[in-house]
Amino acid sequence: MLLTAAPVASADYVRDQQWVLDVFAMNDTWAETQGEGVTVAVVDSGVDTSHPDLAGQVLEGKDFTGGGNAQKDLDGHGTSMASLIAGHGHGSGKDSGMVGLAPKSKILPLRVIQTQKDPNHDETWAAAVRYAVDQGAKVINLSFSNDGGKTLSDGRAAISYAQAHDVVVVASAGNDGSVAVDEPAALPGVVSVGAVDKDGNRWEGSNTGKGLTLMAPGAQILAADPTRSQQYSLSNGTSGATAYVSATAALVRSKYPDLSAGQVINRLIKSASFLGHKGLKAPDEEYGYGVIRPRQAVTMDIPAGPKTNPLGQLTSSVSSQSSKGTDSTAAKKKKSSSSNLVLIGGIAAVVIIGVIAFVLIRSRRNGGNGGPGSGGGSPQNPTYPPTQQPYNSAPNQGYPAPPGQYPQHPNSYSQQPPHQGQ
């Protein structure tokens, strides 16, 4: 009875549930730019190119799981993120279905997991990040976190490589509600993103703490979902918020192509707002520099400022090398050096040092414990926040909530003054 009684998700109904489009006045924003000429890399579970709201927006991409095709998405998470960024709707006039904030940007799908159960090793997503840079992506969306663990050398070097090549890197702060921003979002220079609800209040599961950069809508978010028979679902989480920030970065990069990545981030920060939250000073550990405002990000009179990243820069000894075999080459050199110590030394102490060095190198190459600042016992495999669990999944099988369940939003996003830290 639950299945047969489920409401039919009409195209108009799907569009009506996208409250974010209204509070951000996206029609006015799209008159300025729709993200033309910008590629956003989505490092995720792949992107389903058969979804009608993404037709023609998704590039070939690359699979890093051994599964073969980045344009397949068994989990749905990657497709959801892509739709929040570059969905363009479908039907006559494309006035039906899902629309992202940058509907004319392109998506580069990079599959690093196939299902939620798969470990997302640092060396895997790091390889995807490097590939994205080499393919010309201007924004990299990392809608995942490592649940409190440290990013290993592969991941740090890849993000440093992206920053050195003028790419905006955006990542999720995490969904634990804890007072600590997860890595890789917490790394220097990365735009870390938390989630707010319709009223601009922090979503209760959104992580807080030092290093939080921006907030974006992440509660009751409708997105494309190929794992549902209706092709859409509602969710909560910092994943969706991260995608919205990536989309806004794409809008800015499209409108101002001469700005550096650091100057783009500066515009995102300067145009953000604390909305109705008074007495906060940026950066605030609960709201960062405030909630993104796409229209203001592309229209406000904001001086370009220095080309450097206002959030800092992640340094790495291998950041400037090409993505082809960088980490493996460095590891082989270290391994060779350790082996030489064993052969040349002959003294017990030297042998022990060589063995320890060899074990550490093998551990880093295989995604084991350790790594810079890891403490040796931190979780090593970042996991995707569980954003694909829809509301009331038993009664409606993943459909958006029935009409009238949510009150009409008064659009507090546009009615409040700029953030007090500006």
172-183 confidence digits (pLDDT tens): 999 999 999 999
- 96, 143, 239, 246: the active-site residue: 239
Any catalytic annotation for residue 44?
A: yes
Structure tokens at 123: 């060396």
- Phi, psi dihedrals of residue 79, rounded to the nearest 5°: -65, -40
Q: Name the DSSP class of 357.
A: H
Query: What does the pLDDT average to over 51-79?
Result: 96
pLDDT at 332 over 50: no
pLDDT at 369 over 50: no
pLDDT at 411 over 70: no
Is 137 within 8 Å of 271 (Cβ atoms)? no
pLDDT of residue 12: 66
- Phi, psi dihedrals of residue 89, rounded to the nearest 5°: 75, -175
Question: Cβ neighbours of residue 324 under 8 Å, at least 6 residues apart?
Answer: none
- 77, 88, 90, 277: the active-site residue: 77
Query: What does the pLDDT average to over 116-134?
Result: 95
Label the pairing between strands 214-217 and 191-196: parallel
Any catalytic annotation for residue 51?
A: no
Q: Name the DSSP class of 291.
A: B
pLDDT tens digits for range 202-248: 999 999 999 999 999 999 999 999 999 899 999 999 999 999 999 99
pLDDT at 356 over 80: no
Q: 413: pLDDT confidence band, cut at 50, 70 and 90?
A: low
The single residue listed with the structure tokens 């969706």 is: 240
Any catalytic annotation for residue 206?
A: no
Question: Cβ neighbours of residue 31 under 8 Å, at least 6 residues apart?
Answer: none
Which of 147-161, 330-344, 408-422 ranks highest by mean pLDDT? 147-161
Distance of alpha carbon 32 from the chain centroid: 24
Q: Would you mind telling me the total number of residues written for the chain in this entry?
A: 422
pLDDT tens digits for range 62-71: 999 998 899 9
